[in-house]
Amino acid sequence: MVAPNLFGPSPLLFMAQSSEFRSVAWTPHLNEFRPFCGNSSRTVPVGSITPTMTFGRREGLPMSCGRQWGIVGIGLCLLSLFGGTGCYHTRPEVGPRGASAPIAVPPPGTVPVELDKIMLPPYVIEAPDQLLIEVIQRTSVPDPVTKVPTPQTQRLPVQPISGPFQVRLDGTVGLGFWGGVPVAGLTMEQAAEAIRKHVIANPVLRDLGTKPESIVVILDVLAYNSKRYYVIFDGGGFGEQVISFPITGSETVLDAISNVGGISDVGSKRNMWVARRTPHAGQPWQILPIDWVGLSQHGQTCTNYQVMPGDRIYVKAQKLVTIDRTLTRIFAPIERVFGITLLGASTVNQITGRGNGFNGN
C-alpha cells in the first residue's frame, strides 16, 4: 500500500481489513500496521520494521472502538482535503479567482522544469537593450621578413565603432557619425548584418577605397533589459509588491524566489503559481501551480519550472493575514470615530465640571 502524502508527515490513518484483527491502521512514514480493536498489541510489518506509532492513547491502555473509528473518520477527512499523489494538487484555492476544480501539474515533458530545461529561441532585440558593437576592417599586411601577406584587422578609418550602445525608444541604435540603424525586432545576426550594410553604404568608405567585403561587425547583447519576468507578492489587502528581473535563460522558480530574498512573512507557501502569457491573443492563460513545500523541503522538481520571458510568479498572502488586515481596514475608521467622540465628550465633561466660572458664577 502506498501512502500518498504531498506536504510531509501527517497522522493520516488508512484502514485495512485483517483476518486476525478486527481492523488495523497504517501510519505514514512508519510502514507498519497496528490493530485498533482487540486485545492483541502485535504489529504487522509492511516492508521494513520500524517503531510503532499510536494515536489517541498510550501503549497498553484500552480505547473504545467508537473513539478509534472517530479518529479514522477525522484522518480520512484530512486526507480528502490535503492528500495527493506525486505532484498533483487538489487544493481548490490554488490559482487565480480560487478555481473550484482541482489543478494538476502538467504531465512530464510538456513544461520545462529544473531537470528538463529547453533552449530559448534566438534573442530578439528590443528597447532598451544594451548592445556591444564593434566594427572592424580586415586587411593584409606583408611580413617584413618573408614579404608574405599576413591577415590583420584594424578599426574604421573614420570614427571607429566600438563599445556599448543602447537601443533607443524608436528601436534604433545610434552609431555617431555613421547615423542610426533600426535593430528592434531583429536577432543578433540580423542586426549585425543590418549594421554592416548601413556602414558600407556610406560614401566615405568608397572614397577611401575600402572594400565592402572587408567590413566585419561583431555584435552581442550586453544587458538583456527588454526580456523580464516578475515576482509579485500579495499584501493581504495592503497592495501588492512587484519585483522584475531581466531574463538570462536558465532561471527557475527557485532562482526567482531566491532573487527576492525568499517568501515574505505574509506569503502563503501553499498558494503560489506561475502565470504564463500566451504568444497569441485569444488563447487561454497558462496557470502552473507551485508546490513550494515539495520543491524546497523534499527536492521535488516537477513544479520548479523554467522561467520564461514575461512570466508572473504570484505568491498569495496567507488567509489569516488577509482576514486580519481586512478587519483592520474596516474597524480602524470606526475606532477613530469612537475615539474622537469619547475625547470630545470627555473634554465637554471637564469643561462643564469646572466651568461654573465661565457662566460668571
Is 9 domain-assigned? no
Domain count, the chain: 4
Res. 89: pLDDT tops 50:
no
Q: Which pLDDT score is estimated for 67?
A: 52
Ranking 29-33, 331-335, 338-342 by mean pLDDT, the lowest is: 29-33
Is 119 domain-assigned? no
Is 120 domain-assigned? no
Q: Which pLDDT score is estimated for 252?
A: 94
Residue 232 and residue 236: Cα distance in Å, rounded? 12
Whether residues 208 and 240 fall in one domain:
no
Q: Which pLDDT score is estimated for 48?
A: 38
Is 273 domain-assigned? yes
Whether residues 139 and 216 fall in one domain:
yes
Whether residues 183 and 201 fall in one domain:
yes
Please identify, among 223, 250, 277, the residue that sits at the C-terminal boundary of a domain. Answer: 223
The torsion defined by the Cα of 246, 252, 257 and 258, in degrees rounded to 10, comes to -90
Whether residues 237 and 287 fall in one domain:
yes
Is 278 domain-assigned? yes
Q: Which pLDDT score is estimated for 13?
A: 35
Per-chain mean pLDDT for the chain: 75
Q: How many CB atoms lie within 10 A of CB 218?
A: 13
Question: Tell me, what CATH number does 141's domain have?
Answer: 3.30.1950
Is 116 domain-assigned? no
Is 272 domain-assigned? yes
Q: Which pLDDT score is estimated for 274?
A: 94
Q: Which pLDDT score is estimated for 142?
A: 74
Please identify, among 190, 223, 256, the residue that sits at the C-terminal boundary of a domain. Answer: 223
Q: What would the mean pLDDT of 89-113 be, rounded to a whole number?
A: 58
Whether residues 149 and 219 fall in one domain:
yes
Q: Which pLDDT score is estimated for 92?
A: 39
Share of the chain above pLDDT 70, in %: 69
Ranking 23-27, 261-265, 285-289 by mean pLDDT, the lowest is: 23-27
Please identify, among 85, 115, 147, the residue that sits at the C-terminal boundary of a domain. Answer: 85
Whether residues 218 and 260 fall in one domain:
no
Question: Tell me, what CATH number does 298's domain have?
Answer: 3.10.560.10
Whether residues 66 and 39 fall in one domain:
yes
Instruction: Single out the residue of 299, 294, 316 nearest to residue 94, CA to CA.
Output: 316
Whether residues 315 and 327 fall in one domain:
no
Q: Which pLDDT score is estimated for 345?
A: 83
Which pTM value belongs to this model? 0.60
Res. 4: pLDDT tops 50:
no
Q: What would the mean pLDDT of 343-355 be, rounded to a whole number?
A: 77
Range of 210's domain? 130-223
Highest average pLDDT, of 122-126, 263-267, 284-288, comes from: 122-126
Is 121 domain-assigned? no
Q: What would the mean pLDDT of 294-313 be, rounded to a whole number?
A: 91
